[in-house]
Amino acid sequence: MPMDKKRKLSKSAAVQTKRRKTQPVQKKQASIDALRWKAVEVPEGFDDYEGFFGLEEIEGVDVVKDENGVRFLAPVKAVKESAGEDEFQGFGDEPEESGKNKKAEPGVAKEAVKPAVKDSKKGNKKEAKDLKKGSKKESKKEHKKAQQKKAKSEAVEQEDPELETNVFAKLDDLSEPDEDFDLSEWVPLDLSPQLLSSIARLKFSKPTPIQAAAIPEIMNGHDVIGKASTGSGKTLAFGIPIVEAWLAQSTEEPSADKKKSAIALILSPTRELAHQISDHIKALCAGLATSPYVCSITGGLSEVKQQRQLEKADIIIGTPGRLWDIIKSTNTVLHSLRDIRFLVVDEADRLLQDGHFKEAEEILNLLDKGPTTNEEDEEAESEEDEEEAEEARKRQTLVFSATFNKKLQQKLAGKSKFNLMADSESLEYLLQKLNFREERPKFIDTNPVSQMAENLKEGLILCGEMEKDLYLYATILLQPCKRTLVFTNSINTVQRLTPMLQELGLPAIPLHSNMIQKARLRSLERFKAAETPNKDNNKFVTFSTSAILVATDVAARGLDIPNVDMVIHYHVPRSADDYVHRSGRTARAANSGVSVLLCGPKEAVPTQRLVAKVHAAAEMKKSSASKKTQNLGAGVVQSIDIDRRIVSRLRDRVSLAKKITDAQLAKQKVTKEDNWMKEAAEELGVEYDSDEMEKAGTWSGRGRGRKEKEKKIATEVTKGEMAALRAQLRELLSKRVNVGVSERYLTGGAGGVDLDALLRGENVGGFLGQVDGLGLDD
């Protein structure tokens, strides 16, 4: 059997099929090629010692051996139909219908036939070749990735194959539709009964303002640029019309000779957001009799699997990088994208800037003109150019964000055809590529006054430059019952703060872009799964029931994590827009929340200016009513005056935790570098001696001082000393913190101070007064 495609029939059909067992499964005889094989997911870090790369499996297939040889009896859905009827949604993603599957006999196919060869029967040999090349390349790539991952000594938790979806599915806990649910506020939007019933399941009693304004425009065929504050329901503002269009289209007769094409492509700047959008749309579709196939195409997860998903997708949500990688590596997915009717650019201002520029441009190019990399293809494409340009006109472009910088906003809202110089690096150039079908897309701004959520309270804590760790700890301690998101400006800081907070007994979880994708999703899942206190019955809550996500700005955009009560900006945001998006992770969908900036002395003034800029429009409106124009934005952010006496009583804890963390990180780093040197020495065939290497000057040049310092810390703190430090810290953590005058105590385990009250301006500077009434012991 060729090594690049190997197939097995899985025994696990019975286990997999528990969920749907009402109908007996109809089976029919099929050739091995006609079966819908699924690539076996080989865990990352798994070397191909056993030759598992390229292995494929299938479930629910009976292998019948009789005098005529071997036959395969497969569920009807598991057998491919002729072109145009491809409605099967793939094994592995959805449980298959059950019944007699338990009897399925495992067997191994005699010969593997690559899907590309089947495609070639349809007349496209090139595609087949590309796919073949692609899958070999994929194996190599996966292998290389596995090697790289092995080299990474970063602790990554065990992977969970189920993690790639449903991380955000707050909406997945769907109840049966309530027939009495009042949907009258949705009626003016003229939605189909199926979709209304889905909305009733979600228990959304009325559309949010952006939904009420954007849905009719989109359903009337307009291009839309939607601006609305964070957490205001923008995803379903474009999600509902897309699903509605899919429902209308799915009732039409499919044309027999037409390849399946997706209806919508949604571009997202981050992987997590792509998965979240996908989960939101899936949740919307959960109650429908037939649902569109929704798939998210992001980096960090199996490219081969995503390639297959793309081919059958109705709604594609992707990050430009991975999407472009797949498109480049195979032409078989092009047809999925060419005929899309909706192009959505979510978090447009970020997506059209940052590092996504090139790939986004390539994708937009392709949507209008097709691939330009291959001469053969180009020739074929040119004949169809006109036809395709016409097709492109049919596409609606929807652009959404909570923030649009002024220039971008003017360009977007003003007109679609810009007077451009031939500057392919400019943002305008990319905007032109969006190829709006209308000269003037509908610009909808449902909250022109403020981009910030209505129920958000903002605070600023002024502290010493070197005291941020201490104030971070104090702030978290003052809000012990909260799910908190801490933003930093660097990956290193996430890697340092997370273990430090953990040493302090806090449930800190890291999130940054250097983590492998499954670890990123796992972190989000853990954060989301952490229980929140039941505020209604004032239940006693300990830290074990809250969670702290320490993240870079990778978590700043679009993430909809329920019940984030507090956002702390450990580093001040780099821009006013970043401040809006970070703070927008709390106070979502009519909930309340607080956003706290930790500012060093030098940061205070520029930060206040930055925040004032965000609030200037709102203030301007207010002040024009009262004829005051001074200090715009000032006063919106409440200065939080934490009693320094309490903070100073936490200092020893933080110093110890820092010392332990620094030593640990230095050790990890030295070990990592040592391993790297060892491997390099092995490859060169020389003996490795770290001290000799060091003496010989391997560590000369830039960074030598830092490395030496790290090595010193790493070797200075012995195992025994580390254990002693930990014991000391444990001792400190077990003691109550004497808060002074009132002789009340703040513990690390429970209780806290009402930061909300401080933010309301009550008891400013009167922290101790708040300790009363919190039920803390004497």
Ligand X SMILES: Nc1ncnc2c1ncn2[C@@H]1O[C@H](COP(=O)(O)OP(=O)(O)OP(=O)(O)O)[C@@H](O)[C@H]1O
Question: What residues line the site for ligand X (CB under 6 A)?
Answer: 170-171, 204, 207-208, 211, 228, 230-236, 402, 558, 560, 584, 588-589
d(CA 767, CA 587): 24
Please state the φ and ψ torsions of residue 120, each to the nearest 5 degrees: -65, -25
d(CA 602, CA 608): 11
Residue closer to ligand X (CB basis): 226 or 370: 226
Min CB(484)–ligand X separation in Å:
17
Min CB(286)–ligand X separation in Å:
13
Residue closer to ligand X (CB basis): 198 or 336: 198
Residue closer to ligand X (CB basis): 261 or 592: 592
How do 69-75 and 27-30 pair as beta strands?
antiparallel
Min CB(245)–ligand X separation in Å:
19
611, 633 in Cβ contact below 8 A? yes
168, 561 in Cβ contact below 8 A? yes
Min CB(351)–ligand X separation in Å:
12
Min CB(57)–ligand X separation in Å:
36
Min CB(585)–ligand X separation in Å:
7
Min CB(558)–ligand X separation in Å:
3
Tokens 């409440």 belong to 638
Q: Where are the beta strands (DSSP E) in 529-681?
A: 548-551, 566-569, 593-599, 637-639
Residue closer to ligand X (CB basis): 236 or 462: 236
DSSP 3-state of 549: strand
Residue closer to ligand X (CB basis): 511 or 519: 511
| Sheet of strand 38-39: strand arrangement | 6-9, 55-58, 38-39
Residue closer to ligand X (CB basis): 134 or 320: 320
For residue 343, count other CB atoms closer than 10 A to its CB.
Answer: 23
d(CA 564, CA 55): 42
- What distance, in Å, lies between the first and last C-alpha atoms of the chain? 76
d(CA 490, CA 493): 5
Residues with Cβ within 8 Å of 48's Cβ and at least 6 positions away in sequence, in order, are 42, 139, 143
241, 199 in Cβ contact below 8 A? no
Min CB(537)–ligand X separation in Å:
24
How many residues would you count in the chain?
778
Min CB(211)–ligand X separation in Å:
6
Integer-rounded Cα radius of gyration of the chain: 29
Residue closer to ligand X (CB basis): 200 or 337: 200
Residue closer to ligand X (CB basis): 238 or 324: 238
d(CA 518, CA 300): 7
Residue closer to ligand X (CB basis): 172 or 692: 172
Residue closer to ligand X (CB basis): 409 or 763: 409
| Amino acid symbol at 307 | Q
d(CA 486, CA 566): 8
Q: What share of the chain is helix, strand, coil (3-state, %, to 5)?
A: 45, 15, 40
Q: Where are the beta strands (DSSP E) in 650-714?
A: none
Q: Tell me how far CA of residue 615 lies from CA of 114, 449, 600, 611, in angstroms.
A: 59, 8, 22, 6
Min CB(596)–ligand X separation in Å:
18
Tokens 């340092």 belong to 496
Min CB(288)–ligand X separation in Å:
17
| Amino acid symbol at 57 | E
Residue closer to ligand X (CB basis): 218 or 541: 218
Please state the φ and ψ torsions of residue 219, each to the nearest 5 degrees: -65, -20
Please state the φ and ψ torsions of residue 409, each to the nearest 5 degrees: -60, -45
d(CA 673, CA 680): 10
Q: Where are the beta strands (DSSP E) in 474-572?
A: 484-487, 508-511, 548-551, 566-569
Residue closer to ligand X (CB basis): 334 or 348: 348
Min CB(591)–ligand X separation in Å:
9
Which of 576, 567, 570, 569 has its CA nearest to residue 610?
Answer: 576
Residue closer to ligand X (CB basis): 182 or 689: 182
Q: Apex CA 449: angle with CA 446 and CA 455, to 5°?
A: 85
Min CB(344)–ligand X separation in Å:
11
Residue closer to ligand X (CB basis): 211 or 595: 211
Query: What secondary structure does DSSP assign to 391-415, as a single string?
Result: HHHT-EEEEEES---HHHHHHHHH-
Min CB(707)–ligand X separation in Å:
41
Min CB(173)–ligand X separation in Å:
12
Residue closer to ligand X (CB basis): 280 or 322: 280
